[in-house]
Amino acid sequence: MKICVCIKQVPDTAEVKLDPKTNTLIRDGVPSIINHDDRSAIETAIQIKEKYGAHVSVVCMGPPQADIALREALAMGADEAYLLSAREFGGSDTYATATIVATALRKIGYDLVITGRQAIDGDTAQVGPQIAEQLHLPQVTYAEELEYDGGDTLVVRRQFEDQSHMIKIKMPCLITALTELNPPRYMSVAGITDAYKQEVKVWGFDALKDDLNPEWIGLKGSPTNVFQSFGKQLRQAGKVMTGLSDEAAVDAIMAKMIERHII
């Protein structure tokens, strides 16, 4: 059984700054980590490997420094790592990113693909399902529990608003994992040492060009354009009105609601 886990390196901070000219995140000087949901996806794959002997490949699209995230995945117990990095990939939206990652997955091969539900720096939850569509795979999103008995099917408990769905799905398939699916393990000292002895395979545009249309990737191939981005604004303190009678207080509240077009 071959499992491919798709991960992303994201900024390790809630105080993300935005470039007002490009509408993109300013990553310089900000430490990076493996996206939280993706760590759960790695753990899930490793647990299947330990019980049933699967081979786990980890794939990350990003700049050269994403090598660190891939080596962390190797230190957790993954078998091999692929970094998809090229200038041609820059500016890709979720659709173009899914196109690039899906092309790499076809080349690597898979029985099961696991991704995180969404990345904390984008929160779109689109890339996993788009990869599944590109690969024509059945998919289950928002997985919070997964059962596997070594055959060719999985039983997935899918979180859905105030309830859950129990879904049986046949492989090959794609699952998007919630952080709750499996708490990730810590890296061992031996695992870290071994991870830096292993090769992280770097695939640029040339490695994938036979199956990748340059018109479908990067800024040119991205149908989504960010018109404007801005940081979260703090709400101003409300106005406290004191000394009013009950009737006067109701009139004042109604007047404010009418002024703001609430009623």
pLDDT tens digit at each of 263 positions of the chain: 999 999 999 987 655 666 666 666 666 666 789 999 999 999 999 999 999 999 999 999 999 999 999 999 999 999 999 999 999 998 899 999 999 999 999 999 999 999 999 988 878 899 999 999 999 999 999 999 999 999 999 999 999 888 999 999 999 999 999 999 999 999 989 999 999 999 999 999 999 999 998 888 998 888 887 776 666 666 777 788 888 999 999 999 999 899 988 88
Residue 232 falls inside a structural domain? no
Identify which of 145, 164, 148 has the alpha carbon closest to the alpha carbon of residue 156: 145
The domain containing residue 70 runs over which residues? 2-216
Residue 166 falls inside a structural domain? yes
111, 237, 248, 250, 252 from 255: Cα distances, Å: 62, 19, 10, 9, 5
pLDDT of residue 155: 97
| CA distance linking residue 85 with residue 71, whole number of Å | 15
Residue 33 falls inside a structural domain? yes
Residue 246 falls inside a structural domain? no
Residue 255 falls inside a structural domain? no
The CATH number assigned to the domain holding 46 equals 3.40.50.620
Residue 235 falls inside a structural domain? no
Residue 192 falls inside a structural domain? yes
pLDDT of residue 68: 94
The number of domains in the chain is 1
Q: Provide the whole-model pTM.
A: 0.81
pLDDT of residue 17: 65
Residue 262 falls inside a structural domain? no
Kindly tell me the burial class for residue 17, based on how many C-beta atoms sit within 10 Å of its own C-beta (0-12, 13-18, 19 or more): middle
